[in-house]
Amino acid sequence: MSEVRHDWIKEDILAIYNRPLMELLYDAATIHRRHHDPNTVQVSTLLSIKTGGCPEDCGYCPQAARYHTEIEGNDLMTVSHVKAQALRAKASGSSRVCMGAAWRNVKDGPEFDQVLEMVRTINKLDMEVCCTLGMLTENQAKRLAEAGLYAYNHNLDTSEDYYKDVISTRAFQDRLDTIDNVRKSNVTVCSGGIIGMGEKLEDRAGMLVALASLNPQPESVPINALVAVEGTPMENMDPIPIWDMIRMVATTRIVMPETQVRLSAGRTQMSREGQAMCFFAGANSIFAGDKLLTTPNPDVNEDMEMFKLLGLNPQKPFTKISQPKTVEASESQFTSLDEKPKWSGPGHKIERNEDAKQKVKLTD
């Protein structure tokens, strides 16, 4: 029986978020293993194909033209440059290339035609292609789909209640409309948000309510920690504790069990131990490369070292995002018992011998 539900309310999600940490981690990890391979993590490369000069006023973004940051603006990349970057990403283990352009919305014309050619080019490399280009129409989403786009990213950023404290040049409903336009095409949805922008816990829960209420839910949900950039309105925000990220990842996994949860911005401020706990809690995707559009990110070689240390494998492209997994408990876990239990998916029982007097039942 599916665990996916679309009727979450903030109070329910806050109750999950505030559980004792060990209980929260156990519940999230259990659900994660029902739907995903816990030892596989997707590696994506985020590429800024057009940087700076954005007319929006997102309080966290150094690419807004109105803010005085040290971001160097660049015109739209050439198709050949994007192909070279994609090949480099593939060689380093990435299965997806995400292209971002600092636009408020997509405009039909030569630049959009160039983006479509980029999508076709990367798709021929047997890599998933994602774009984040701002708002787009139903027709534009259809054209991207025809070019071979696999996913479109359009983050909600935060809750509807807190949204106006973050951005005034685009309404929360505009974001939902773009997601709806993507849904009308054959393109998967990537939508998440940022924590650490001064929001309350209720706002984090409200964002998850908005995402979980979508039917179907987004195929992937990035959870970003704010990277405070000098020159933006949020430059003086303190980094959020790693425990907040762990709780947010775990709560997202429970609320959206089939979704790919992306551990996104802010990883340079996280220890390997902190990231490992996020993976245990249900994160199964990261962005690799030394930059996430314009903010710092761990070097890909560091990530591969971490993967080796944790026994994680990069996900292959075009892998079905959510699939029930059969996990057999290792014999060493039950060395004091006469019988090794069998673990065979959701709705199952783990039963040990009668002398142990212990039974564990995981229910849907």
Which pLDDT value is given to residue 227?
86
Domain of residue 350 covers 331-361
Residue 15: inside a domain, yes or no?
yes
Which pLDDT value is given to residue 57?
73
Written as one letter, the residue type at 103 is: W
- Indicate whether 349 pLDDT > 90: no
Phi-psi bin for 131: left (phi > 0), alpha (psi -120 to 50), beta? beta
User: Would you give the DSSP letter of residue 63?
Assistant: T
Residue 130: inside a domain, yes or no?
yes
Question: What DSSP element (H or E) covers 269?
Answer: none
3-state SS class at 207 = helix
- Beta-bridged to residue 314, according to DSSP, are 41
Confidence of residue 147 (pLDDT cuts 50, 70, 90): very high
- Indicate whether 47 pLDDT > 80: yes
Binding positions for [4Fe-4S] cluster: 54, 58, 61
Residues 6+ apart with CB under 8 A from 53: 63, 65, 73, 102
Residue 324: inside a domain, yes or no?
no
Whether 106 and 239 map to the same domain: the answer is yes
Binding positions: 54, 58, 61, 98, 130, 190, 262
Whether 213 and 251 map to the same domain: the answer is yes
Question: Which of residues 210 and 46 earns the better pLDDT score?
Answer: 210
Whether 100 and 188 map to the same domain: the answer is yes
Whether 284 and 342 map to the same domain: the answer is no
- Indicate whether 31 pLDDT > 70: yes
Confidence of residue 363 (pLDDT cuts 50, 70, 90): very low
Q: CA 255 to CA 364: how far, in whole Å?
A: 13
Checking DSSP bridges between strand 359-361 and strand 349-351, what pairing results, if any?
antiparallel
Most confident range, picked from 203-217, 308-322, 346-360: 203-217
**Predicted confidence (pLDDT) per residue in 258-275, tens digit:** 999 999 887 888 899 999
**Predicted confidence (pLDDT) per residue in 177-198, tens digit:** 999 999 999 899 999 999 999 9
Instruction: Report whether the peptide linkage leading into residue 317 is cis, meaning its omega lies within 30 degrees of zero.
Output: no
Phi, psi of 90 (to 5 degrees): -60, -40
Which pLDDT value is given to residue 229?
80
Whether 292 and 345 map to the same domain: the answer is no
Binding positions for [2Fe-2S] cluster: 98, 130, 190, 262
Residue 222: inside a domain, yes or no?
yes
Whether 263 and 350 map to the same domain: the answer is no
Which pLDDT value is given to residue 323?
55
Average pLDDT over residues 128-151: 95
Quote the percentage of the chain above a pLDDT of 70: 80
3-state SS class at 118 = helix
Whether 355 and 279 map to the same domain: the answer is no
Residue 323: inside a domain, yes or no?
no
Average pLDDT over residues 103-110: 87
Q: CA 260 to CA 165: how far, in whole Å?
A: 28
Residue 101: inside a domain, yes or no?
yes
- What number of CA atoms fall less than 13 Å from residue 57's CA on the CB side? 11
Residues 6+ apart with CB under 8 A from 301: none
Whether 185 and 226 map to the same domain: the answer is yes
Give one DSSP letter per residue of 72-93, joined into a string.
Answer: PPBPPPPHHHHHHHHHHHHHTT
Contact 268, 297 (CB under 8 A): yes
Residue 4: inside a domain, yes or no?
no
Whether 153 and 69 map to the same domain: the answer is yes
Whether 353 and 268 map to the same domain: the answer is no
Whether 173 and 252 map to the same domain: the answer is yes
Whether 336 and 201 map to the same domain: the answer is no
User: Which residues are identified as catalytic?
Assistant: 54, 58, 61, 98, 130, 190, 262
What is the CATH classification number for the domain harbouring 57?
3.20.20.70
Phi, psi of 220 (to 5 degrees): -145, 145
* Distance, C-alpha 142 to centroid of its chain: 23
Residue 115: inside a domain, yes or no?
yes
Structure tokens at 237: 């925000």
Q: CA 364 to CA 85: how far, in whole Å?
A: 43
pTM of the model: 0.83
Number of domains in the chain: 2
Confidence of residue 293 (pLDDT cuts 50, 70, 90): very low
